[in-house]
Structure 1
Amino acid sequence: MVAAYETSGEIKQPLTSQLRNTAEQIQHHSEKGHMKQAVKSLDDFLKKLNNKPKDVTPEAKQVLTDYVQSLKQLWE
């Protein structure tokens, strides 16, 4: 999810690494069936995305935000 934006330069370091690590946490928790923790990690992902507006293009931010919000709706 983050890799394509990293390759295109739409997300810059260190935000890319932070988002990638959080995405791995989301995947880990969801695979284990720990949906409450997965949702918490989704919130962390959004927080990191919103805290670094200069490190992400508006388009990439919007796509990632929409994706995370849709996952939250499924898992809450």
Structure 2
Amino acid sequence: MPTPELTYGERAVGLTFNPGGSGEVADCKLHFAKLIDQQNELRAACASPEQKRLASVAITELQTAQMWAVKALTWKD
């Protein structure tokens, strides 16, 4: 059975990378992937260079937030 192609957002958050198999990490990444996909679709559809730039900044910041969120979810003292 072929695996479905990942969306831009799913690739951007590394959806398939979850060595611990955590459901919380998978859920977190999926939520961020959807937000990134929303901004990527906006970026592709708009004509305004400034709006494209803002969507790109939002994608970068979402990726950063996702990494910190995963770090928080997997933190061990």
Please give the range of the TM-score, normalised by the shorter of the 2 chains.
0.3 to 0.5
Greater fraction helix: 1
When normalised by structure 2's length, the TM-score is: 0.45
